[in-house]
Amino acid sequence: MNTRGAVPAIHVRGLTKSFGGRAVIRNLDLVLPQGGSLAIVGHNGSGKTTLIRLLSGLARADAGLIHVCGVRQGLNAIAVHRAIGIVSHNTFLYQDLTPVENLQFYGRLYGVDRLHQRVETLVERFGLAGYRSTLVRMLSRGTQQRLSLARALLPDPRIVLLDEPDSGLDPQAVDMLPQLLALAELEGRTTLLTTHNLKLGLVLAQRIAILAQGRLVWEQGTPGLSEADVRAAYDLHLPKSNRIWGSPSASGATA
């Protein structure tokens, strides 16, 4: 995809959000070009999930501006929601519906063209055909996450937000995440990933950033970057008590 001169997929200026008088996001700026991919790491409470909710329109900022594909959030909610697919550690799936029923319901909400064909394509791509008649509450966490990703891609969004997609997965399912995301055909889409897993972030994103005390305090391209490099950068910006890993050999998934 040629993105030279293109409007950024995500453009954030001065974003601020507080809860109970405590600032979680503080005057945050972010520019993510079309087709770009960014992994954001940070300790629990650093604001990762809040940032995803703000970008997706699930929460409202106290101050600042968010533009999605050139559209100011809040002025055209339908256009923004159609542009974004979100995968969260909370799947927001309807537990008493089957995978196909979940996809059909979501597709009707978004007016997806050729819905039946689109649902069938995603069911096959993500290995859900064997669970057509199974209620979601009976599915494993890993299978639910596959369905959540299929649902996020159903409207063919230009931007995909992944909020700790490895949360709650067993080690085998985490190891399969890169292959699963490859099935999502994310190349060419704009992706923003939050995670505790440095290895996952380095594999899946072109750039990696550190969110600390509500701000993006460091960002670097991932080619040639190691987990130790990111840990060293993280240690420069937060005291030891707030680090997300317990030892130099930790993977970053301890918090």
User: What's the token pair of residue 57?
Assistant: 């329109």
> Does the pLDDT at position 29 exceed 70?
yes
Q: What is the pLDDT of residues 116-174, one digit of tens each?
A: 999 999 999 888 999 999 999 999 988 998 899 899 999 999 999 999 887 777 776 77
Residue 56 vs residues 74, 84, 231: alpha-carbon distances, Å: 11, 7, 28
Looking at per-residue pLDDT, the higher value among 199 and 98 belongs to 98
Q: What is the pLDDT of residues 109-131, one digit of tens each?
A: 888 999 999 999 999 988 899 99
Q: What is the pLDDT of residues 85-108, one digit of tens each?
A: 999 878 889 999 999 999 999 999
Strand-strand pairing, 159-163 and 71-72:
unpaired
CATH number of 10-245: 3.40.640.10, 1.10.760.10, 3.40.50.300, 3.40.50.2020? 3.40.50.300
Task: Return all residues near 53 (Cβ < 8 A) that are at least 6 apart.
Answer: 59
> What pLDDT does 208 receive?
96
Q: What is the spatial distance between Cα 224 and Cα 2, in angstroms, rounded to a whole number?
A: 24
Residue 192 vs residues 41, 95, 161, 198, 225: alpha-carbon distances, Å: 11, 27, 5, 14, 18
The 8-class DSSP code of residue 234 comes to H
Q: Which residues pair with 28 in a beta bridge?
A: 15
| Confidence bin at 180 (pLDDT 50/70/90) | confident
